[in-house]
Amino acid sequence: MKKLMTALAVCLAAGFVAAAPAPSVTSSNIVGYVKTTATGPSFSTGCMFVSVGSPTAVWRLGDVTVSGMDPSQDNIQFLNTIDASTELTATYIDTATSINYVGDTSIVGWWDFSLTTSLDNVMVGAGTGFLCNFASPNVIFTYAGEVLQGSITLDLSGLLSPMIANFTPVDLTLGQLTVAGMDPSQDNIQFLNTVDASTDLTATYIDSATSISYVGDTSLVGWWDFSLTTSLDSHPLPTGTAFLGSFASPNVTITFPNPML
């Protein structure tokens, strides 16, 4: 099992911080790509891969290509991991728009919203999601890179509001994620509405120690609604889906399963 600590935490702390449709996956065994279409103006998602050969489990923003974004009105936002405010706003110039602007493809890629600074080389920690702000319909992301193999633990220590993506190129359920350090009385994750980014679903996790303290055995281990009345282990977590954490506890970790099994 691999544990992602410094790479994820540093990128998130620097500002490089939910539901997606089931996208089509092509050659996702070692190196591949995924295409997914935004389903609403506040679509939330995250990269399913890391940069090929990345020694620190990060993905490069420029490895994500987009069609259908209008740089005058559409953008993505990386959220601050303390208060979920916007830390970085980026927009994309596709081939057609570049030709329209300058007559060639020289400005294709990611830019700040003022279109003065290229953001292609922004590096983002594996498991980091972002929030879209789209006026245009039918925006399509193409994610490309290398599949992280083995089970991966994201160390979210000290992060209060991380946006966390299913960074595997396979569909999961919440029950396939295991968690340590969450207090079900105060910690939760939130799936966001794709239209207005309001909270559609809130979930919390009961670990073995908490289950034993509640009922004397481990029968409650897993994901639950915040009232602890309904199990959410079967809730779908499609590839690229992101959720927003709301953590008061200081040392939360979330482990994703090996996508190759």
pLDDT digits (tens, 9 = 90+) for 207-223: 999 999 999 999 999 99
State pLDDT tens for residues 115-146: 999 999 999 999 999 999 999 999 999 999 99
| Buried-state track 42-74, b at ≥16 Cβ within 10 A, e below 16 | bbbbbbbbbbeebeebbbbbbbbbbbbbbbeeb
Q: What is the largest CA-CA distance in the chain?
A: 69
CA nearest neighbour of 116 among 137, 95, 84, 89:
89
Question: What domains lie within the chain, and their CATH numbers?
Answer: 15-146 (no CATH), 152-256 (2.60.120)
Would you place residue 55 in the very low, low, confident or very high pLDDT band (cuts 50, 70, 90)? confident
Please count the other Cβ atoms lying within 10 Å of the Cβ belonging to residue 11.
25
Give the CB-side neighbour count of residue 33, counting CA atoms within 13 A. Answer: 10
Residue among 95, 88, 175, 188 nearest 129 (CA): 88
Whole-angstrom Cα distance, residue 173 to residue 29?
20
**Residue appearing with tokens 């193409």:** 142
- Whether pTM > 0.85 for this model: the answer is yes
